[in-house]
Amino acid sequence: MKKILKVLLIIIAIPVVLVGGLLAYTAITDYKPEKVENVFKTDKADVLNDTLEYQLMVWNIGYCSLSADMDFFYDGGKNVRNTEENTKRNFEAVKNFVAKHDSIDFFLLQEVDKKSKRSYYIQQYDELSKLLSGYQSFFGVNYDVDFVPQPLTEPMGGVLSGVATFSKKIPSQSDRFSFPGNFDFPVGLFMLDRCFLVNRYPLENKKELIVINTHNSAYDDGTLRKGQMKYLKNILLEEYNKGNYIIVGGDWNQSPPNFKPQFNGHVFDDKDFMPIDADYLPNDWKWVYSAQIPTNRRVMIPYKKGETPTTVIDYFLISPNIESIDNKTIDLDFQNSDHQPIWIKIKLKK
């Protein structure tokens, strides 16, 4: 009987020790970014003309795994990652798309992997930087975990990923700002450390164009997102009060204020529908998006138009001293990512 109890205790102790060891290791190696980290700084920045038009594009590329053929366990699906062949195919499609849009002045990309098991360790940021050789490239880490144990049957493994801004002009500086808050222990050890990347461009009129690349939290009850938006708001108003011009683009993981979909042939995803508060900013700040075409689809099942829930969570926010000349969502039918590219043309107001 004693031998049986001993065996049972050993059987029970092994997973406890393994889990405890994993938590201890992850806590020790946990990525702990500063509130603000400088990514780049120079006294030889390009001075932008304050009368020209500028084009920007936002795209969450879904680390080139979340294509139309994919479901994902976080969204209620079964899969953890796509096949290596499909992931490489999606990445080639992303690169071809970006290369064809070389008139864009600023690319603001999210979920760009550097070294991750989920994307077969493809150096996505490095390859995009080489492809966009005429651009300046900037990276803000928002996911750096040596081993993500979820799901237990097929762990996601190591992830190194973030937001990437590519710019034709040289900024005076680029800074990574940490969003406040995270999930409780121990879940927070294995989740993203959300951030936004702020690039500053001097203008001929002695002010600055502030280009912000954001990727806000998902899968929370809204508490994290509200805290993040409050933090961002303070920075936006502070910069605008200096006379600067601000444009924010990215994957907000929440719909714009007063959003009412006008989709044709798409199903609106009203589950966990979370629009930004209507009074978040004064009315002269503008949220720029198309209500006719969704930018994101739920990855609960492989994509089927008219069946898969879709919504708008990727868009731009511009300060009152910027004019939106044109904008559109580029409908790629979610073939290579669970998000669609968003394009805008702007002009600074006198």
Q: What is the 3-state secondary structure (H, E, C) of the chain?
A: CHHHHHHHHHHHHHHHHHHHHHHHHHHHHCCCCCCEEEEEECCCCCCECCCCEEEEEEEECHHHCCCCCCCCHHHCCCCCCCCHHHHHHHHHHHHHHHHHCCCCCEEEEEEEECCCHHHCCCCHHHHHHHHCCCCEEEEEEEEEEEEECCCCCCCCEEEEEEEEEEECCCCCEEEEEECCCCCCCCHHHHCCCCEEEEEEEEECCCCEEEEEEEECCCCCCCHHHHHHHHHHHHHHHHHHHCCCEEEEEEECCCECCCCCCCCCCCEECCCCCCECCCCCCCCCCEEECCCCCCCEECCCCCCCCCCCEEECCEEEEECCCEEEEEEEECCCCCCCCCECCEEEEEEECC
User: Of 44-48, 76-80, 324-328, which range is least confident?
Assistant: 76-80
| pLDDT at res. 193 | 87
| pLDDT at res. 4 | 57
| pLDDT at res. 224 | 95
CA–CA distance from 67 to each of 91, 113, 318 (Å)?
A: 10, 15, 30
Tell me the sheet residues that pair with 108. 58, 165
Between residues 193 and 177, the one the model is more confident about: 177
Between residues 5 and 37, the one the model is more confident about: 37
Residue pLDDT, tens place only, 280-301: 999 999 999 999 999 999 999 9
Q: What is the mean pLDDT of residues 79-105?
A: 97
Rounded-to-integer distance, Cα 350 and Cα 345, Å: 16
| pLDDT at res. 74 | 84
**Residues 211 and 161: beta-carbon distance below 8 Å:** no
Tell me the sheet residues that pair with 242. none
| pLDDT at res. 3 | 60
Residue 22 pLDDT level (bands cut at 50, 70, 90): very low
Q: What is the mean pLDDT of residues 318-338?
A: 98
Residue 11 pLDDT level (bands cut at 50, 70, 90): low
Rounded-to-integer distance, Cα 173 and Cα 94, Å: 27
**Residues 218 and 145: beta-carbon distance below 8 Å:** no
- Check whether 2 has a pLDDT greater than 80: no
- Check whether 151 has a pLDDT greater than 60: yes
| pLDDT at res. 21 | 53
Question: Would the CA dihedral through 250, 251, 252, 257 be positive or negative?
Answer: positive
Helix axes 124-131, 84-100, angle to 10 degrees: 30
- Check whether 37 has a pLDDT greater than 90: yes
Q: What phi and psi, each to the nearest 5 degrees, are found at residue 94?
A: -60, -45
User: Of 4-8, 16-20, 28-32, 186-190, which range is least confident?
Assistant: 16-20
Global confidence as pTM: 0.94
**Topology of 34-348 in CATH?**
Deoxyribonuclease I; Chain A (3.60.10)
**Residues 296 and 254: beta-carbon distance below 8 Å:** no
- Check whether 6 has a pLDDT greater than 60: no
